[in-house]
């Protein structure tokens, strides 16, 4: 079973990203489970969302304490993420413009991407969710871009072309695909 944690702040799109990611895996023929945990529902409050993916029905019903991978929408949340929360071989995609975020104990596994700049460029700021989802797929190779883009088109509450563009740019940047490539 593949387990993924998403850490963000209210208003960044972590919960929507969780649902879109689950839908993308479902489109790829996998069984999925998606849910969120958060305190007060307010903009800026920490939010954690969880996605489980398997080839068989998922019957486990608890939070994910030790994920295979994580997405961190706000780099200030890295300090709250203990090294044991992500498996040793896992990838942590973090919304950060610089690789300097690698001083964290998760250092070798951090894959920074400036999702905020991508979101701003396509007209989505402060929503970084779709850029982060693209970066996650590009960094891990767990999802085809076509499945993810289709899930973004179906699951985006608004600005669908902008969300698809942010997702594609995040994917290409993390996967090392030149910007002018098809």
Q: What is the DSSP string of 48-88?
A: EEEEEEESS-----S--SSBSEEEESSGGGGGGS-GGGB-T
Is 34 contained in some domain? Answer: yes
Structural domain contains residue 128: yes
Q: Is residue 95 one of the residues assigned to a domain?
A: yes
What lies within 8 Å, CB to CB, of 23 at 6+ separation is 32, 151, 154, 155
Domain assignment of residue 181, yes or no: no
Pairing between strand 31-38 and 92-95? Answer: unpaired
What is d(CA 135, CA 127) in angstroms, rounded to the nearest whole number?
Answer: 14
95: three-class secondary structure by DSSP: strand
* pLDDT tens digits, 98-109: 755 544 556 557
pLDDT number for residue 103: 46
- Give me the pLDDT at residue 182, please: 44
Q: Which domain holds residue 8?
A: 2-175
In a domain, 162, yes or no: yes
Question: What pLDDT is stored for residue 180 in this prediction?
Answer: 53
Q: Is residue 182 part of a domain?
A: no
Domain count, the chain: 1
Q: Would residue 108 count as lying in a domain?
A: yes
For 34-88, the pLDDT digits (tens) are 998 866 667 888 999 999 999 999 999 999 999 999 999 999 998 888 888 899 8
Assess if residue 180 is contained within a domain: no
What are the tens digits of pLDDT across the range 112-164?
999 999 999 999 988 999 999 999 999 999 999 999 999 999 999 899 999 99
Q: What is the CATH number of the domain that holds 149?
A: 3.40.920.10
Closest CA to 63 of 5, 7, 116, 18: 5
CA pair distance 68, 25, nearest whole angstrom: 15
- Per-chain mean pLDDT for the chain: 90
């Amino acid at each position: 079973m593949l387990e993924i944690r998403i850490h963000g702040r209210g208003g960044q799109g972590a919960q929507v990203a969780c649902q879109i990611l689950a839908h993308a895996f479902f489109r790829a023929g996998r069984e999925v489970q998606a849910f969120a945990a958060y305190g007060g529902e307010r903009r800026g409050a920490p939010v954690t969302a969880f996605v489980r993916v398997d080839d068989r029905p998922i019957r486990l019903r608890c939070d994910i304490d030790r994920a295979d991978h994580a997405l961190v929408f706000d780099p200030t949340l890295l300090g709250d993420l203990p090294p044991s929360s992500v498996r040793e071989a896992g990838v942590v995609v973090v919304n950060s413009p610089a690789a300097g975020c690698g001083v964290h104990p998760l250092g070798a596994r951090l894959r920074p991407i400036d999702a905020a700049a991508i979101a701003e460029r396509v007209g989505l700021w402060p929503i970084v969710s779709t850029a982060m989802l693209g970066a996650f797929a590009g960094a891990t190779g767990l999802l085809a871009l076509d499945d993810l883009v289709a899930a973004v088109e179906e699951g985006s509450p608004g600005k669908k072309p902008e969300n698809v563009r942010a997702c594609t740019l995040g994917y290409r940047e993390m996967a090392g695909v030149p910007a002018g490539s098809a």
